[in-house]
Amino acid sequence: MRITGKTAVYGIIGYPVKHSLSPIMQTAAFEELGIDAVYVPFEVKPENLKSAVEGLKALNVKGFNVTVPHKEKIIENLDFLSDEAEVIGAVNTVKNEEGKLTGYNTDAEGFIRSLKEEGVDVKGKRILMFGAGGAAKAVGYSLLREGVKFLNVVNRNFSRAKQLGDLLGKFGNVLIYPLKEGTVEILLKDVDLIVNTTSVGLKDTDPHLFDYSKIPEGVVVVDIIYNPPETPLLKAAKERNCKVINGLGMLVHQGAVAFEIWTGEKSPVEKMRKVLEEELY
Ligand code: ATR
């Protein structure tokens, strides 16, 4: 591409940031729509977060993504927050408008769009969610906002599940449980959609969350992990005639929502997915 004095600058801050897929995905999106912009990685150590954000503002960087470990800490450096970011307590996208920074969290909307593109509507549905970490906050909030019947949350660390229940309880019917085989077995009898937000399944040495042979036939099973593309949970679900969805769609759509916030243009979702698939698989 040709960089001129008019080229807009976007980026991502994180530490580490080397493995981020966002530069590939957002660069492809700008190219596809012929937008005169670049998107670059910025490695920012935790102790430099404040000065980095000041610098991004001073340099008139138009927008940036935020990744580990800055998603929560950045909030104190921003001027405004979207409702989602406020509830979730984490920001993954920032827009710079004349030096005023607004923080957004696009994971929630990204997750819902990834279900909708697969024809899954969660309104009125019974949900079993594993995990109570950062990802669970965004996924749980998005499901409640869509009007699920109830959200059963199972987590290994029960006090963390409690915290999540307290946070999300005002948006709908949230019930929390410890991760125990017998408990999960009972919950599996009353479910339409199972979602894994934990990191279990990332490594092939990981334990199983529960006995996957107990997954009811025909329910929808979602894993927000995208690499590997098929976790043991999804493999078992597929064998039981379940519709399965991995995390690639969520990755694509959280980026697509960010792109729309920055540019006001409809994101080239298929192009973004294609470059990620080429990079990952
Ligand atoms: P993220 O931001 O990706 O959600 P996180 O906040 O560290 O990351 O959350 C990780 C989630 O994976 C938690 O729900 C964690 O359970 P605990 O709260 O009990 O730690 C879950 N998790 C990680 N390894 C796990 C394992 N071996 N078995 C069960 N849950 C696990």
Judge if 8-105+250-280 and 109-246 fold alike in CATH terms. Answer: yes
57, 62, 71, 203: the catalytic one is: 71
Query: pLDDT tens-digit profile of 267-280?
Result: 999 999 999 999 99
Q: In the CATH scheme, what architecture does the domain 8-105+250-280 have?
A: 3-Layer(aba) Sandwich (3.40)
Burial 53-90 (b: 16+ CB within 10 A, else e): beebbeeebbbbbbbeebbeebbebbeebbebbebbeb
C-alpha pair distances (Å), 67 with each of 18, 20, 114, 232: 11, 9, 20, 27
Determine the pLDDT at residue 115: 98
Q: Which atom number of ligand 1 is nearest to the Cα of residue 130?
A: 14
Q: Calculate the average pLDDT of the chain.
A: 98
Per-residue pLDDT at 1: 81
pLDDT tens sequence across 106-128:
999 999 999 999 999 999 999 99
Residue 241 has pLDDT above 90, yes or no: yes
Structure tokens at 174: 């949230």
The interface predicted TM-score (ipTM) is 0.98
> Of all atoms in ligand 1, which is nearest to the CA of residue 157?
19
pLDDT surpasses 90 at 222: yes
pLDDT at 242: 98
Stretch 207-221: mean pLDDT, rounded?
97
CA of 135 to the centre of ligand 1 (A): 9
Q: Give residues (CB < 6 A) around ligand 1.
A: 131-136, 155-157, 160, 179, 197-200, 207
**Domain ranges in the chain?**
8-105+250-280, 109-246
Q: What is the pLDDT of residues 1-52, one digit of tens each?
A: 899 999 999 999 999 999 999 999 999 999 999 999 999 999 999 999 999 9
Q: Name the residue of 198, 200, 231, 233 whose CB sits within 8 Å of the most ligand 1 atoms, as the mutation to test its pocket.
A: 198
In this structure, whether the domain defined by 109-246 belongs to CATH 3.40.50.720 is answered with: yes
φ, ψ of residue 219 to 5 degrees: the values are -80, 165
User: What pLDDT is recorded for position 29?
Assistant: 98
